């Protein structure tokens, strides 16, 4: 469904991605592991058209994303949960969700249904629906960021370090959500540093180093042989 072939990317003059190739099939959860600064976030940004791509190809359902403006990706079914969460801080929780709900072609009934669904996953968001996004705690903001992506009814979610800096209880909740999304048939490209979580949630895993994919294996293989993980990630 989502295929990156030999993607190169630059920030200004610095060459950050060197021929990254990744594939995510429909409904599949794919992990992307790597130390800090190896280019995981940049890979997601390249997909979203937010990093300057200087080589290679990115296709989604056979369509080259080159000509698609950044605001067209949501409509194709690609949602992004950024590392910094990027909540609209002055908008209320409900208004944050409305940025994804107020799309053309969404009936009132479907909107209500979608809201019910995310509120069911994240009851705290319902409680805080009229509170400004900026006043939420870190964990709540992460939930809002995921909920906001969910109301877009995407085919794939690009999830960038969702558990970074969260308390264990929250991490468990995020893990549950990832499973739930997977059950719903949503594909996920999960960028993480949390190895156990990734190996638990993902079917396949790519490991990046220095802006390139160095290793690719099924989660089962990696669970069986943790040496690779140790070599690349030092854990």
Partner 1 sequence: MDQILIQTLHGLVNGMVLAMVASGLTLIFGIMDIVNFAHGDLLMLGAFVGASIVGVTGNYWLALVVAALVIAILGALLQATTLRPLIGRDPLTTILATFGVSLVIQKYALWQWGPSVRQISEPVRGNFTLFHLQYPWYRIATAILAGLIIAGLWLFLKYGKYGIWIRATTQDRVMAQAMGIPVPLVYTAVFAIGSAMAAASGVLFGPFAGVTQTMGFDFTLRAFIVVVVGGMGNLGGSILASIFVSLLESYAAIVVSPAQAVIVSFVVLVLTMLFRPTGLFVPTPK
Partner 2 sequence: MAERWHDEAWAKDMWWSGKTTRRKFLALTSTAAGALGATMLVPAPWREVFGQAKPYKIGVLQPLSGTGAAGGKTALVGTQMAVDRINHGGGINGRPIELVVADYESKPDVGRRKAEKLVLEDKVDVAEGGYLSNVCLACMPVFEENKTVWMIGVCLDTTITTTKCSRYVFRPFDYAPAQAVGFSPYLVSKLGKKWHVAFLDYAWGQSTRDAYIEQIKKNGGDVVGTTGVPLGTADMAPFVSKISGSFDGLFGIFFGPNAVSFTSAIYDLGLTKKYKYAGDGAIAESTHLPALGQKIEGFVGINRYIPVMDPPLNTPYHKKFFDQAVVELKKIDPSGPLPDRYVQSNFEAMNFLKLGMQKSRFRGREDTNNLIEALEGMEVKESDDFPQGDKAIRKEDHQAFLREFIFTIQNNKHKLLETIGKEKTLVPPACKFA
Ligand X SMILES: Nc1ncnc2c1ncn2[C@@H]1O[C@H](COP(=O)(O)OP(=O)(O)O)[C@@H](O)[C@H]1O
Q: Which residues bind Mg ion (CB under 5 A)?
A: 41, 83
Token pair, residue 171, equals 């991490």
Distance in Å, CB of 89 to partner 2, minimum: 10
Q: Per-residue contact track with partner 1, 37 to 66, x per CB under 8 A?
A: -----------x-x----------------
- Secondary structure of residue 132 in the 3-state scheme: strand
Torsions phi, psi of 154, nearest 5? -80, 160
The DSSP H or E segment spanning 179 is helix 168-183
Stretch that binds partner 1, among 74-82, 190-198, 201-209, 222-230 (CB under 8 A): 74-82
Q: Per-residue contact track with ligand X, 4 to 43, x per CB under 6 A?
A: -------x--x-x-----------------x-xxxxxxx-
102 part of the interface to partner 1, by CB under 8 A: yes
Q: Per-residue contact track with partner 1, 149 to 188, x per CB under 8 A?
A: ---x------------------------------------
Q: Per-residue contact track with partner 2, 76 to 115, x per CB under 8 A?
A: ----------x-----------------------------
Torsions phi, psi of 35, nearest 5? -70, 175
By a kind-dependent CB cut-off of 5 to 8 A, residue 38 interacts, out of ligand X, Mg ion, partner 2, none, with ligand X
- Secondary structure of residue 161 in the 3-state scheme: coil
100 part of the interface to partner 1, by CB under 8 A: yes
For the chain, the residue count is 235
Torsions phi, psi of 191, nearest 5? -90, 130
Q: Which residues in 38-77 contact partner 2 (CB under 8 A)? A: 49-52, 69-70
DSSP E strand boundaries for the chain: 2-11, 14-24, 29-33, 52-60, 63-64, 78-81, 156-160, 187-192, 204-209, 212-218
By a kind-dependent CB cut-off of 5 to 8 A, residue 60 interacts, out of partner 1, partner 2, ligand X, none, with none
8 in Cβ contact with 55 (< 8 Å) = yes
By a kind-dependent CB cut-off of 5 to 8 A, residue 124 interacts, out of Mg ion, partner 1, ligand X, none, with none
Q: What is the dihedral of CA 197, 200, 205, 209, to 10 degrees?
A: 30
- Cα 127–Cα 131–Cα 137 angle in degrees, nearest 5: 80
206 in Cβ contact with 3 (< 8 Å) = no
Candidates 1, 3, 5, 10: give the one binding partner 2 (CB under 8 A): 10
Residues that bind ligand X (CB under 6 A): 11, 14, 16, 34, 36-42
Residues that bind partner 2 (CB under 8 A): 10-12, 49-52, 69-70, 86
């Amino acid at each position: 469904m989502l295929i990156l072939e030999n993607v190169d990317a630059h920030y200004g003059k610095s060459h950050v991605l060197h021929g990254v190739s990744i594939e995510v099939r429909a409904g599949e959860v794919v992990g992307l592991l790597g130390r800090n600064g190896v280019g995981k976030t940049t890979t997601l940004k390249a997909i979203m058209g937010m990093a300057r791509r200087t080589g290679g190809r990115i296709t989604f359902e056979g369509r080259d994303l080159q000509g698609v403006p950044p605001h067209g990706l949501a409509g194709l079914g690609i949602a992004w949960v950024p590392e910094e969460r990027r909540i609209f801080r002055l908008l209320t929780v409900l208004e944050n969700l409305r940025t994804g709900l107020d799309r053309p072609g969404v009936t009132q009934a479907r909107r209500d249904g979608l809201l019910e669904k995310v509120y069911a996953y994240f009851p705290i968001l319902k409680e805080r629906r009229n509170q400004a996004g900026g006043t939420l705690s870190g964990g709540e903001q992460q939930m809002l960021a995921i909920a906001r992506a969910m109301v877009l009814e995407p085919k794939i979610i690009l999830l960038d370090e969702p558990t970074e800096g969260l308390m264990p209880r929250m991490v468990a909740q995020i893990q549950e959500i990832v499973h739930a999304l997977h059950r719903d048939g949503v594909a996920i490209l999960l960028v993480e540093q949390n190895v156990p979580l990734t190996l638990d949630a993902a079917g396949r895993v790519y490991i990046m180093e220095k802006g390139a994919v160095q290793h690719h294996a099924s989660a089962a293989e990696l669970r069986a042989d943790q040496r690779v993980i140790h070599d690349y990630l030092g854990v």
